[in-house]
Amino acid sequence: CRVSSLENEPYDAQLVRLENADSHSEQARFREVAIDCDCNGTHRGLEQAFPSGSCVSIPSGALTSNWDEFSLIMNIMPTAPTIAGQHIVTQWDPAVGAGWRLTLTDNGALSFQISDGNSDITVTLPEGAKAKCWYQVTVRASHALRLLRLTAKRIAQSPLSISAEDELSASVELDVKVPVSAEPLLIGSASSGTNIHGQPIPKNGFYGRIENPVVYRTALTDEQLARVCEGARPQHVAAYMLADWDFSQAIGTTSIRARSPNRLHGTTINLPQRAVRGTAWAGETNWRNDPKQYTAIHFHGDDLYDCGWNESFKLRVPDDLKSGVYAVRLRRGGSCDQQDENEDYLTFFVAPPKHKPQARLALILPTFTYLAYGNMRFIEAGRKMMGMSPEAFYGDGNSLGPGSGYYGGLINAHPEVGSSVYDFHADGTPLVFSSWLRPLLSMRPKSQLLSFGADMLFVDWLEEKDIAYDVITDDLLQKEGVELLRDYSVVMSGNHPEYPTTEQLDAIEAYLAGGGRWMYMGGNGYYWRAAVSEELPGVIEMRRGRTGSGTSKSDIGESYLEFTGEKGGIWLDIGRPPQQLFGVGFIAAASGMGESASHFRVQADARTSRASFVLEGVGDDVFGNYGILEGAAAGQEIDQVNYSLGSPENVVVIARSEDHGPGMVYVIEEMASLQPLWEVYRDRVYADVVFFETPHGGAVFSVGTMTWCGCLSHNEYQNSVSTITENVIRRFTDEAPFETA
């Protein structure tokens, strides 16, 4: 376990089993059970840093000798040039203030500095760079000629651009030699030391794209420089080449390949974005078909993959620990009814021993969704943009659920922990990666009842009903595939399993085709394609493509995932809509502006259908007009049947929601025009609760709503939503096969 404690204060650790995470709703029943463990007790505190910013690190190698002359050529596209302190390329020893570096001034002007530790020479262009424009940048230094020249030539964005030949240049007299340095050369940031992995710790990172830097140990002539800028590598100066990095090679890895003879290969740090367009992009949308059109890397000064913290203490999971949701509770003195700055939880999940299930039912927790939403600050950013106070924005009518105001304040106070794939970098570009290797404030008990907090309502209900269950996760399914699922008679999802990978969908499909039974207990599930890295643990990649209902879109030509080369976006556009496996798919979402949630009504023929067992003990046709999430069973995000998208013909619609308010917004991908939303689409906004049989005696039950879990505890767990859920579990764990309709 790795912990950062402010001001190095000591803290107490206690292993707990989490059975209810709710400390904010009107029915708050937070419950944890202390567990004996060797990690329990007081630990020495250590405050640890958050090293944000991405870069490429090149070991010093042949770059350590004195340079009387050198040339640097590269293309750059700043995306936020006026953010202060950005370093583009640097080989600098901060201990003695010696080396060289290409930076941006506070007004966005390119500046190049050489220092020997005693004196330095700086050359700066007279104007700032424009955001999102490509520039061909060259630096030529010659101690013999006493010349240091910096040039930036704007690269045309259009064949009709009148500014294509714009060029800025500045020169100064050079009377300083570049000193010997053992420091690595960094592309995209400066360095503030090394972490526990021996890697440079980035700081003052660049926001923007860099394309294929080239370094020569000579001051190229104008003619030679022009040829190199055109992509040639003149043979008569080949002996002077130090490095020629090709960013189009090894996309999807941390490897940076050098084409120069000395093979000064490098490594990316903190996951800068690759598989992005370079200056040679000519319309190919799949980078694997022509990597030479994707020769750039997009760096961000706020990228964060791995904090690289020192270990604080070890936790050995007891051999006899029951499968479930656990956490190490950290406290600095006293006890806490509400989470505050003196308390934190390190949440984790314990599965049963491999192929030794402890129950017939598995609750599969969508850990990839937890990652996607990890440290989401999009909602809080929206509140500020609208100019609303926290009290007004997070009031009773807010669709985000109890605890949202607390979480909004928490995430606002801690920008250092990074953001989610719902958020934007400081340069306005969307995030595409989210990692476990940093604190996730969104995956804590006693916080908002969204994502992890909402899924804990299922855990609470299973515990209350004394229904045996195992906990498995998306991570485990990614690793073990369908064999993990085949250990169980029935698998029950969380309330928002939104981000499956190809491997996970393949496993679920194989499980259902073989007679498995699935309870899809949420809404807007199985919607976006995610991917994982074969090299880097604990991270997902998600690119939203150009369609779908999300907070952003991928840039043009950049919808293909760098980890796998697969097309990103929604599974509907990839030909595998969720209706094919679960009978329902995403249709509408609460906007947070006005009433949106509603109740369900049992369909006319449901009680005499093959699904009649679902409604045993349910007396009223209208149910779900209660709950701690939006006050109703059909809310937040909802799904419905669509036979044209693959809902099986044998689907039985058990119940359908009705009378949603105008705050429930129809999904973008279903809109046929720019007609006024509510007048055109209001009759199409509803959720479906469905059942259908699958081959070999299997079956699927889907609720098509994210707020179903918020109803389970209503009236001391005695209500129709609870009854229906229990009926399905009892029948699905029964070995008697379902007859295919």
Give me the residues paired with residue 152 across strands: 137, 168
The gap from C-alpha 106 to its chain's centroid, in whole angstroms, comes to: 30
d(CA 390, CA 410): 12
Residues of the chain below pLDDT 50: none
| Overall residue count recorded for the chain in this entry | 741
**Helical pair 404-413 and 378-386, crossing angle rounded to 10 deg:** 90
Residue type at position 475: D
Question: Residue 273 in 3-state DSSP?
Answer: strand
Strands annotated E in 117-189: 120-124, 135-142, 147-154, 167-172, 185-187
d(CA 129, CA 83): 12
Per-residue pLDDT at 432: 98
Vertex 438: Cα angle to 435 and 441 (nearest 5): 100
Check if the beta carbon of residue 702 is closer than 8 Å to that of residue 713: no
Per-residue pLDDT at 594: 72
d(CA 456, CA 470): 14
Per-residue pLDDT at 676: 56
What pTM did the predictor assign? 0.95
| SS (HEC) of 494-541 | CCCCCCCCHHHHHHHHHHHHCCCEEEECCCCCCCECCEECCCCCCEEE
Edge-first strand listing for the sheet containing 433-435: 433-435, 539-541, 531-532
Residue 391: Cβ within 10 Å count:
8
pLDDT tens-digit readout, 571-610: 999 999 999 999 999 999 998 777 899 999 999 999 999 9
Question: Residue 348 in 3-state DSSP?
Answer: strand
Per-residue pLDDT at 624: 98
Question: Residue 237 in 3-state DSSP?
Answer: helix
Give the position of tokens 């030909």: 575
Vertex 723: Cα angle to 718 and 725 (nearest 5): 130
